[in-house]
Structure 1
Amino acid sequence: MAALETVMDPEIPVVSVTDLGIVRGVRRAPPAVLITPTYTGCPATLAIEAAVRVALDRAGFSDLPIETVLSPPWTTDWISEDGRARLLAYGIAPPPPGAAASTLRAHAVVTCPRCGSGRTTEVSRFGSTPCKALWRCLSCQEPFDRFKCH
């Protein structure tokens, strides 16, 4: 797992695939690294798997297979606290812990990652990547991405 903590998400290069919860762990029998994409069809899945393979090879685990697991599906609840902090520092509003337990369109306040205001509005359900939505702060007028809750 230490070797995999260095693998950054290709779409959000400040957060690792372990902090995002994409790497679910290492199974002992039969041995394999288990990964789950943020959603089925994520365009970054192949790049993530290739980066995980490189990290494993460099750490001396070239015989350890990588297995994609789709059930249960990935959830934003798997994002670590460090991952949430890194997303926020990067300008992406992270979902709060437990947000996946509510609806996708939860009416919780979304805080602007730039100025901290809670006066925000969703501009488009579709952001810079499929796992993010485009929001705008009504206080500072800056647009920002919000990681979709699921």
Structure 2
Amino acid sequence: MVSRARERGRAGEVAAAVADPELPMLTLADLGILREVTETGDGRVVVTITPTYSGCPAMDAIRADLSAALRAAGYADVEIRTALTPPWTTDWIGEAGRRKLAAAGISPPGPAAPRAPGPVPVALGPVRRRPACPNCGSGETGEISRFGATACRSLWRCQACHEPFEHVKEI
């Protein structure tokens, strides 16, 4: 199931177009963290977002970017809320977002493992699947490092074209 933000009016369009600070080729809507945008009749906007994981360091930048974009669009009263349930999953990244990741040379995540309600365990064990190389499409890839530029990405190398690439981990 892909989460879709309930966007209302122009404020929803503005919020949906804000770029993610860690994956700037994606918008917050592409990433699936934009949950709801409510525009009231008196010019007030309430935006609800969900972090990709607890403690995500990009949340402060996301809040600031959302607020700045909405204020620049003429909304003086902006409130950014955080919703932790249900927790975000990489399954919420839309098809457009997956295409944008691949076009940028980043392997998009596969399907996330089913999980029970409650806290999401962080698995540091072996990788469940080998991602395809976003450069040549080969499935013959090997993990270089479990952690990349951010905790939600890992570093891989293609055995066919020998190019390194990042992969968005399945959460």
SS of equivalent to 1:65: strand
Correspondence for 2:25: 14
Over 3 Å counting, the alpha-carbon distance change for 1:74 and 1:117 in structure 2 is: same
Aligned length: 149
Kindly state the Cα deviation for residue 133 of structure 1 after the two structures are TM-superposed: 0.8
CA separation in 1, counterparts of 2:74 and 2:91? 31
CA-to-aligned-CA distance 1:38-86 (integer Å, 9 cap, x gap): 1111111101110000111122333231101112211101111111100
CA shift digits 1:64-123 (9 cap, x unpaired):
311011122111011111111001100110013x33438966634411011110101222
**Structure of larger gyration radius:** 2
TM-score, with structure 1 as normaliser: 0.88
The answer as to whether partners of 1:7 and 1:52 remain within 8 angstroms in 2 is yes
Identity among equivalent positions (%) equals 50
Matches within 5 A, 1:56-71: 56-71=70-85
With 101-110 and 5-14 compared, the bigger mean Cα shift is at 101-110
- Which of 96, 99, 105 is the matching residue for 2:112? 99
User: Counterpart of 1:110 in structure 2: which amino acid?
Assistant: P
Pairs within 5 Å for 1:59-138: 59-96=73-110, 98-101=111-114, 107-138=128-159
| Structure 2 spans left out of the alignment, 5+ residues | 1-11, 116-121
SS in 2 for 1:70: coil
The aligned amino acid for 2:54 is T
Partner SS, residue 13 of structure 2: coil
Q: Equivalent of 1:44, from 58, 64, 72?
A: 58
How much has 1:5 moved relative to structure 2? 2.6
> What secondary structure, in the 3-state scheme, does the structure 2 residue paired with 1:40 have?
coil
Letter in 2 for 1:89: A
Distance of 1:23 and 1:95 partners within structure 2? 19
Q: Tell me the TM-score normalized by structure 2.
A: 0.78
Q: Is the 8 A contact 1:75 1:100 kept in 2?
A: no
Q: Which runs of 5+ in 1 are unaligned?
A: none
Separation of aligned partners in 1, 2:61 and 2:71: 15
